[in-house]
Structure 1
Amino acid sequence: MKFNELGLSAEILKALDILEYKEVLPVQEKVIPILLDKKDVIVRSKTGSGKTASYAIPEIEKIDWMLNQPQVLVLTPTRELAKQVAGEFKAIGSYKRINALPIFGQQPIKGQITALKQKVHVVCGTIGRILDHIERGTLDLSMVHTCIIDEADECFKLGFLDDLEKILQTLPLCNMALFSATMNDDVKQIAGKYLHDPVEIQIKEAKEYNTNISLYYVKVTKENKMETLFHLMNEHKPSQAIIFCNFRENVETVFDAFYDEGYSCCMIHGGLDQDERLLNMQDFKKGMFRFLIASDVAARGIDIEKISHVYNYDCPTTAENLIHRIGRSGRVDRRGESYTLVLDTQMKYIERMEEELDTHFIETYAKKSVMSKELATSERVHLKDEKLSEQIMKLYLKGGKNKKIRPGDIVGAILENKNVTFEDIGVIEILEHQSYVDILNGKGEMVLEDLKKRKIKNKMIIVEKAK
């Protein structure tokens, strides 16, 4: 099925085409019509199957651009996933001028409060910080027509059940959607209490894990574990790979070893500052690093297209952990490989996961090798949103509420250029001392040069391409 067979608007189809969304994936084919029909839904589908777009697309269609209050609330277990989901909404909704705001902890709440006073259509956030804003009275959910809980099982596993219920109790009557790769009793409890006659969808497969991924294990000792990992890297020469560890201390140990050997790498774990975590993930997604060493904080919902290999430096102890780790590779219809380093005492975990998933791990060995110079440098990855950025330019204006600038003032100045129409103007954000505006349809450079010569509110304003 093609997206143009779903009755979607021209604006969404244009964005999907630029983002290279070709065929409608199975989960999208089932979910999009249901959410467009304003029905509740429970979805169980493997990670990497296209779940985010399956709810972003119909919700963007339903948003009333004129309303200033949030109309869609997306709850996630991690800040990385909240940021990624918001980015997906903004990318797919770019030609509808949809503004999506990620909200999470360990980020200045004052800036979030300011951002929430703007025209925000979608709020994507972690449960703790969303509840914090609700209790402060800084997040108005009165116009929310859809609430989505992404990676629902992980939200409950992290102990957010009580806080989640407090959030749901503040919502108006609205559609509910639960998405997860796995389900548990807490998910069923929430579904029974807050969802009305939900449609249940399970994308059936022979096995519950992503079968696009080949599973291997390598027997190691504590003494040769790191050396074995290096040999695997040099043998496989992955385009991009994630190395998972069970503990933050091990993340730092592996990172230090890779860095000392000259490998192109970065790391994330729960002990890093929020800004550093987000920057490292962003740089890895852009292809600035070949290897990401991570704790399980990165195992959920992170969509990076060209990860060819996943390595478990520490053996996962449950099938669920394995599913979400290896799901970072083999996204959508790509093939991937997973290698798990196993001590003799850990073979019981491999056997247990084989039994639970009705699968088989293939034992393999690492060929001795020297470090490849190729792995010492990164290889830029061409991202989907880079293609979108060729059509959309964000402009920075040195002036905001302090100069009493309003969105209409910016629109008026832009439209003085007869070669620009209202359809070429995207999201406008007015802050205290600066403003931002997205220029669509490849007209950014023209508008930038034109605005440098025009007055806004009878004053010359500095205008630059946003960094």
Structure 2
Amino acid sequence: MKEHSFDKVLSKMGISELNDMQQDVINHFLHGRNDIVVLSPTGTGKTLAYLLPLVQFLDAQSDAVQALVVVPGRELALQSNTVQLSMGSGIRSQACYGGRTAMDEHRLLKKNHPQLIFGTPGRLNDHLDKGNIDKHLIKYIVIDEFDKCLEMGFQDEMSHLLGKLPMLERRFLLSATDTDIIPRYVEMRHTDRLDYLIEEERLNDRVEVYGVQCPVKDKLDTLAQLLKSLGETQSVVFLNYRDSVERTDQFLRKQGFVTSVFRGGMEQRQREDALYKFSNGSATVLVSTDLASRGLDIPNIDNIIHYHLPGNEESLVHRIGRTARWDKVGRTFFLVGPEEHIPGFVESLAQIYEPSADELIPQPCMATLYIGKGRKDKISKGDIVGFLCKKGGLKTCEIGRIDVSDRYAYAAVKREKLQQIIRLTRGEKIKGVRTVVEPVR
């Protein structure tokens, strides 16, 4: 992919033009030799900013891994890999992360021969230590969300990882928040620092800030009333503890809301189900810990709701950064209990919001199907559309977003057609093979 073909890639991805930060990163990446540190707010497209030039440095004819992208969590690994695949660059890539056996990933590495790997520090170390990845041809390393990857909990793993890469030529660090010191073991040399953070403007000016007064310490009833008043828009509710996430999610479901829950400790399939269901419009509410405040690129989140106030300003910035991504607008709501206050640096921006008292509980128009076959079974999006129309009795206008993974697929369909699809496709074959078709709850 040549520089002049960027327009073709952007058109394919539905992006009209690159912003100033992306153009600056690409210019330094393509036409410089220095290491690069990029500081830019969440939602500004840093993943695309480094991927567009990086893939041009990689040899698509080689079977060797030539670049690593280090990320703090598996969701960001998966999403970044999805962005790379959607570019149509001709570069093979793979996500590597904990939560599944390293042996299974090794089989995929031997089969796919990726030139680019997105991975968490621990899993990348595992593959390098076992010789599953040849360290001698890796010339480029990207550390995404480096403020998180280089903090105390990751330092031993990151030091171990970087110490095993003798042939590195360039290092690229990206984050939405600055850090005072980059550890010596990163070995940054001549460095270009591209700082797009505005110190006085910690919040995106396209985000409206509201305070919602809660009459009692338990905020569940106020939360439900707020969500009713927000209608069919997409909302993320942030809480500080796993058990609070479960309690809140159960309460909202009993009220009749269609929710997704996202927290640490969930199985990988559960987490993927939850994110896909929310991102394709099959749920109006994502109830989560701060795990969802980083690494998730869901473009149409309208509202960020703080059930619990975040522990610090940095956490708040990352939470709010989930909305108003790219050129969109968004809202953030603070549920303020009897003895609580909106954090100081946003308090002056906050307006009082009083939820309506008699709104109906909003219902999403879509539902999500899990289909137990994927790319490795030679199943494409077109095959799934044909299956749902021919066997499930749908019209194409009743089918939404479809995502096909290696061994399974997700499809969004009109909610009122869900039971019809389950009934009509039971025992039916897709491309001559029987498969599981079930709703994602």
Instruction: Tell me whether the two structures share a fold, i.e. TM-score over 0.5.
Output: yes
Does the residue aligned with 1:366 lie in a helix, a strand or coil? coil
What residue is the counterpart of 1:180 in the other structure?
A: 175
What is the CA deviation profile of residues 67-123 of structure 1, one whole-angstrom value per residue up to 9, with x for unaligned ones? 11212211111111111111111111x2x3222211111112221011111220211
What residue is the counterpart of 1:86 in the other structure?
A: 81
Deviation at 1:380, TM superposition (A): 7.6
Give 1:376's aligned amino acid.
Q
Determine if contact 2:277/2:367 at 8 Å carries over to the other structure. no
Q: Distance in 1 between matches of 2:11 and 2:98?
A: 34
Deviation at 1:346, TM superposition (A): 3.0
Q: Return the match for 2:237 from 226, 243, 258.
A: 243
Deviation at 1:466, TM superposition (A): 11
Unaligned stretches of 5+ residues in structure 2? 369-373, 380-404, 408-430, 437-441
What residue is the counterpart of 2:34 in the other structure?
A: 39
1:360 corresponds to 2:353:
no
Does the residue aligned with 1:55 lie in a helix, a strand or coil? helix
Deviation at 1:211, TM superposition (A): 2.3
What residue is the counterpart of 1:61 in the other structure?
A: 56
Alignment of 1:27-426 (within 5 A): 27-37=21-31, 38-92=33-87, 94=88, 96-117=89-110, 118-157=112-151, 159-171=153-165, 172-186=167-181, 188-190=182-184, 193-205=186-198, 206-223=200-217, 225-347=219-341, 350-351=343-344, 353-354=345-346, 360-373=348-361, 375-379=362-366, 396-397=377-378
What residue is the counterpart of 1:440 in the other structure?
A: none
Deviation at 1:223, TM superposition (A): 4.6
Q: Distance in 2 between matches of 1:378 and 1:109?
A: 39
Give 2:299's aligned amino acid.
E
Aligned sequence identity (%): 26
Change (3 A) 1:19 1:272: same
Does the residue aligned with 2:331 lie in a helix, a strand or coil? strand
Equivalent pairs counted in the alignment come to: 379
Change (3 A) 1:53 1:380: farther
Change (3 A) 1:173 1:255: same
Q: Distance in 2 between matches of 1:23 and 1:466?
A: 41
What is the CA deviation profile of residues 289-343 of structure 1, one whole-angstrom value per residue up to 9, with x for unaligned ones? 1111111111002111111111111111211011000100000111100001122
Deviation at 1:371, TM superposition (A): 5.0
Does the residue aligned with 1:369 lie in a helix, a strand or coil? coil
Range 219-228 or range 108-117, more displaced: 219-228
TM-score scaled by structure 2?
0.79
Q: Distance in 1 between matches of 2:307 and 2:255?
A: 17
Deviation at 1:284, TM superposition (A): 1.7
Determine if contact 1:74/1:150 at 8 Å carries over to the other structure. yes
Q: Distance in 2 between matches of 1:60 and 1:53?
A: 11
Q: Distance in 2 between matches of 1:313 and 1:342?
A: 8
Change (3 A) 1:152 1:204: closer
Deviation at 1:200, TM superposition (A): 0.2
Determine if contact 1:263/1:377 at 8 Å carries over to the other structure. no
Change (3 A) 1:269 1:168: same
Change (3 A) 1:80 1:116: same
Deviation at 1:248, TM superposition (A): 0.7
Deviation at 1:62, TM superposition (A): 1.6
Determine if contact 2:55/2:91 at 8 Å carries over to the other structure. yes
Range 154-163 or range 328-337, more displaced: 154-163
Give 1:365's aligned amino acid.
Y
Runs of 4+ in structure 1 deviating by more than 3 angstroms, as ranges, are 221-224, 378-381, 393-398, 462-467
Give 1:98's aligned amino acid.
I
Q: Distance in 2 between matches of 1:158 and 1:260?
A: 40
Unaligned stretches of 5+ residues in structure 1? 1-5, 382-392, 399-428, 435-461
Change (3 A) 1:207 1:397: closer
Determine if contact 1:212/1:336 at 8 Å carries over to the other structure. yes
TM-score scaled by structure 1?
0.75
Deviation at 1:368, TM superposition (A): 4.1
Deviation at 1:367, TM superposition (A): 2.6
Determine if contact 2:235/2:284 at 8 Å carries over to the other structure. yes
What residue is the counterpart of 1:439 in the other structure?
A: none
What residue is the counterpart of 2:14 in the other structure?
A: 20
Q: Distance in 2 between matches of 1:210 and 1:301?
A: 18
Deviation at 1:210, TM superposition (A): 2.1
Determine if contact 2:10/2:17 at 8 Å carries over to the other structure. no
Does the residue aligned with 1:345 lie in a helix, a strand or coil? coil
Determine if contact 2:232/2:363 at 8 Å carries over to the other structure. no
Does the residue aligned with 1:87 lie in a helix, a strand or coil? helix
Deviation at 1:136, TM superposition (A): 2.1
Give 1:113's aligned amino acid.
H
Q: Distance in 2 between matches of 1:397 and 1:377?
A: 31
Determine if contact 2:60/2:90 at 8 Å carries over to the other structure. yes
Give 1:333's aligned amino acid.
D
Deviation at 1:221, TM superposition (A): 4.3
Q: Distance in 2 between matches of 1:287 and 1:70?
A: 36
Change (3 A) 1:221 1:138: farther
